[in-house]
Amino acid sequence: MRFFYENNMGDSGYFSESNLVKAIYTAWNIEATLYLLNDGVKKIVWNKPSRDQYKVVFSPYDDNEFNSDVLKEFGYKMEDRGNYREIIDIKTDKIVKYEWSEVKDLV
């Protein structure tokens, strides 16, 4: 998988990560929107953006419903559990987490 991230501070970039959940936590850590690049796309052409290039897979500023809608095809959803917003595996209904030490620092 190849991802692009962009946050409100103007930071953006590409990174490869084989695990979608780890990529989400990484983007979440810097409050960045995460895009999955479609097959064959090496770089997003921003002056001619096209849904053929990418799809949003996580948005830190949107609600659980929005994020659950985009994550559904990957078998995940987001919901509030206790005091935290969590990524949930739809099949098992279990929270999917990573230790913060495993999350890449992108900035």
pLDDT > 50? residue 37:
yes
Q: Can you read off the two tokens belonging to residue 15?
A: 């990174």
56-68 average pLDDT score: 95
| Separation between Cα atoms, residue 7 and residue 72, nearest integer Å | 23
Domain ranges of the chain: 2-102
| Separation between Cα atoms, residue 78 and residue 90, nearest integer Å | 10
Q: Is the pTM of this model over 0.85?
A: no
Helix, strand, coil tally for the chain in percent (to 5): 20, 35, 45
pLDDT in tens, 6-30: 888 878 888 777 889 989 988 888 8
State the pLDDT at residue 17. 79
